[in-house]
Amino acid sequence: MHPPVTLRNATEVDLPTILDIYNDVILTTTAVYSEQPHTLQMREAWFNERRPAGFPVIVAEVDGIIAGFATYGHFRVWPCYRFTVEHSVYVQADMRGRGISKLLLAEIIGLAKAAGMHALIAGVDSENAISLQLHLKFGFEQVARFKEVGFKFNRWLDLIFLEKLL
């Protein structure tokens, strides 16, 4: 049996671990269509842009160690999209398969509803079956597939958009 998972708002102290998780995802998966690791300064700027905009950054802790994080932010910055947000959920590699992403996604959905958002968008690589299944279980519907819009690890990648109306 695994230790319990605690969810809480992220703080600036959490940013180095959030950065480590994010950079591992960049370097080892197609969950982020980026090839260059981010710097701590980039994560600090990202974090400091979210708070005044009212966008949450949530961490999942297991035995005091950050196992993952989730957030949402602008889907598009134009005013008429203000009730639609796009979310992200990332879990540390050695913590995957423990249900942490389910807890983080449920929390992000609840926070988006409480903030008066109308639609939640997920952009998922087409080969990420686990993430696709997770989103479908939470009531997301596939609304678009963009073929060969990303190129990483020497291959073309398809991006799937899923949407949940709140």
pLDDT by residue (tens digit) across 22-58? 999 999 999 999 999 999 999 999 999 998 999 999 9
Give the pTM.
0.95
What's the total number of domains in the chain?
A: 1
- Which residues have a Cβ under 8 Å from the Cβ of 21 and sit 6 or more positions away? 66, 68, 69, 90, 91, 92
CATH of the domain at 97: 3.40.630.30
Task: Identify the domain containing residue 15 by its residue range.
Answer: 5-165
DSSP 8-state code for residue 102: H
35 touches 26 (CB < 8 A): yes
**Which pLDDT score, from 0 to 100, does residue 2 have?**
76
- Which residues have a Cβ under 8 Å from the Cβ of 52 and sit 6 or more positions away? none
